[in-house]
Amino acid sequence: MTTSTLNYLTSDATDLAPGGVEEISVALRELLADVFALFVKTKNFHWHMHGRNFRDYHLLLDDQSDQIYAMIDPMAERARKLGGTTIRSIADIARRQRIQDSEDPSLTAEEMLTELMQNNRELTTFLRAVHEICDRHSDVAAASLIENWIDETEQRSWFLREIVEG
């Protein structure tokens, strides 16, 4: 960490230790990149959905993408409230994202839903890992936000699983 970064992180933004702010901010940046990637992927599948259940799947993915999008600003703002930084560009997102993009035009509706189910499960795992970091540094505000996002993400996974496996 550079001296200017350290000075920035020891501002009066929070009473959390500078190391905690840095670790939480880094974790939130990665998480934010994953959320952006999942948002775009969900919208991609929403726009390219086809088949017998088109309307139902199209509406489901529209609802799910809205829910995912609603996570973005509070997540980024939490990092900034702590005195940390967040993502700055699409290239930054691409470098950090762990959820893989999909450009395959031949996916069936069921394959799209299966992929999104798996991605939401991945996101739940990432959310839990960041929650543990927040707990370790006593960032109850971020942990509280993440608890709600875990519940929402598990619900998205559940809805998708019921369609895919049902």
State the Cα torsion 105-44-156-158 to the nearest 10°.
-10
Give which of 152, 147, 75, 71 is closest to 160, Cα–Cα.
Answer: 152
User: Residue 24: which CATH number?
Assistant: 1.20.1260.10
pLDDT of the chain, 166 residues: tens digit per residue: 454 444 444 456 788 888 889 999 999 999 999 999 999 999 999 999 999 999 999 999 999 999 999 999 999 999 999 999 999 999 999 999 999 999 999 999 999 999 999 999 999 999 999 999 999 999 999 999 999 999 999 999 999 999 999 8
Q: Which domain holds residue 52?
A: 3-165
Query: How many independent structural domains does the chain possess?
Result: 1
Tally of CB atoms within 10 A around 127: 24
The pTM for the full model equals: 0.90
